[in-house]
Amino acid sequence: MKRTSSHPITGWRAVVLAPFVLPFALIAGVFGANKQTVDRTPEDVAGFIGDLIDGSGGEWDWDEFECVPITDPALDDIRLRAAVYAPPNANMAELRKLMAEAEAIAAGRRDT
């Protein structure tokens, strides 16, 4: 399988395009286009788990929650542990504990 282009941009074309492409690349990098995590609140995490428990979540909600790392390390730890207890062999008791843990984090942050 050929992975490189048979028509790379070189020479004068590269020189002409550089002033347009480089600023765009820098701006994209500065504004988090390469960010690999998502910002979620403790309420969001508790909501995803609660929706799984009561079956009210959308078709792809749990997949999104389970597969996308969370910026906050404490919430990402809950996400990783929840993935272990999720279907197909769901452990609802453990999921409820994790939901309570996320709710406790939310309550703690509201109090401060």
pLDDT of residue 29: 61
Predicted confidence (pLDDT) at residue 51 exceeds the cutoff of 90: yes
Q: CA–CA distance from 50 to each of 4, 5, 74 (Å)?
A: 46, 48, 18
pLDDT tens-place string over residues 13-33: 777 777 777 677 666 665 555
Q: How confident is the model at residue 2 (pLDDT cuts 50, 70, 90)?
A: very low
The domain limits of the chain are 42-111
What is the predicted pLDDT for the residue at 50?
95
57-80 pLDDT per residue, tens: 888 899 999 999 999 999 999 999
pLDDT band at 1 (very low <50, low <70, confident <90, very high): very low
Cα distance between residue 22 and residue 15, in whole Å:
11
On the question of pLDDT at 52 being above 90, the answer is: yes
